[in-house]
A and B are shown apart, each in its own frame.
Chain A
């Protein structure tokens, strides 16, 4: 089954404790992206990757890191989480070429709470 998986689905942590949220897709998509969803703000893009070893900042990259060492994986790293990073996070992927025009496939989401 074609899908995007994320782990963990739920995470409660404390300020400053480094964490990683994993994302994996099995559709051989070149483009991958991370979003955060906050009430009233919709989805805001954190980082995206056009292909392996190619990453770029989205609209709200502060406090986050990413890496793309393999095509299928795109982990999101919070080196020192803060309470304002409490949010619902989504990973998505699509065929590249024209990422601004392609359907994106979304993972199930990771609900992060930073105390």
Chain B
């Protein structure tokens, strides 16, 4: 079984400040971890993924995520937030042998001008 938790429904941050969107996971074996972003009235778009290797993964639009095996976390980060980053963010977990990705409940990020 696999599951993912996004403990914050809403995150507010001022433009120019660093942002963090939290994600923790549970999976047997080595996890495959993903972040997706959803803008209003759009489908989900892939941001980045961790399969193996360097714990710091860089993705689209200046986002990065840090894999922490001991804390079973995969938090999404950006050094300087933009108003255009305001969107709904989903974390997802899978496994090599899995036929499914399991998504979290989503975190609404609002960047205030």
Q: Known: A108-B42, A109-B43. Contact between A100 and B104, CB under 8 A?
A: no
Q: Known: A106-B45, A109-B42. Contact between A98 and B96, CB under 8 A?
A: yes
Interface mask (B44-83 → A, CB under 8 Å = 1, otherwise 0): 1110010100000000000000000000000000000000
A101→B60 CA distance, assembly (Å): 18
Interface mask (B7-41 → A, CB under 8 Å = 1, otherwise 0): 00100000000000000000000001010100001
A74 within 8 A of B: no
Please indicate the chain B residues that have their CB under 8 angstroms from the CB of A107 in the complex.
43
A47 to chain B, nearest CB (A): 11
B104 and A101 contacting across the interface, CB-CB below 8 Å? no
Contact-residue bracket for chain B: 20 to 34
A interface residues, how many (CB within 8 angstroms)? 27
B99 and A50 contacting across the interface, CB-CB below 8 Å? yes
Please indicate the chain B residues that have their CB under 8 angstroms from the CB of A109 in the complex.
41-43
Please indicate the chain B residues that have their CB under 8 angstroms from the CB of A42 in the complex.
6, 90, 103-106
Please indicate the chain A residues that have their CB under 8 angstroms from the CB of B94 in the complex.
99-101
19 contacts between A and B (CB under 8 A): A40-B105, A41-B105, A42-B103, A42-B104, A42-B105, A45-B100, A48-B99, A59-B100, A90-B44, A92-B43, A98-B96, A98-B98, A99-B99, A100-B94, A100-B96, A100-B98, A101-B96, A101-B98, A108-B43
Please indicate the chain A residues that have their CB under 8 angstroms from the CB of B46 in the complex.
103-105
Which of A41, A92, A100, A108 has a CB less than 8 Å from the CB of B99?
A: A100
Q: Which residues of A contact B (CB under 8 A)?
A: 4, 33, 35, 40-45, 48, 50, 56, 58-59, 90, 92, 98-101, 103-109
A56→B99 CA distance, assembly (Å): 10
A105→B96 CA distance, assembly (Å): 18
A103→B105 CA distance, assembly (Å): 18
A19→B96 CA distance, assembly (Å): 35
B101 within 8 A of A: yes
A90→B10 CA distance, assembly (Å): 22
B95 and A101 contacting across the interface, CB-CB below 8 Å? yes
Please indicate the chain A residues that have their CB under 8 angstroms from the CB of B98 in the complex.
98-101
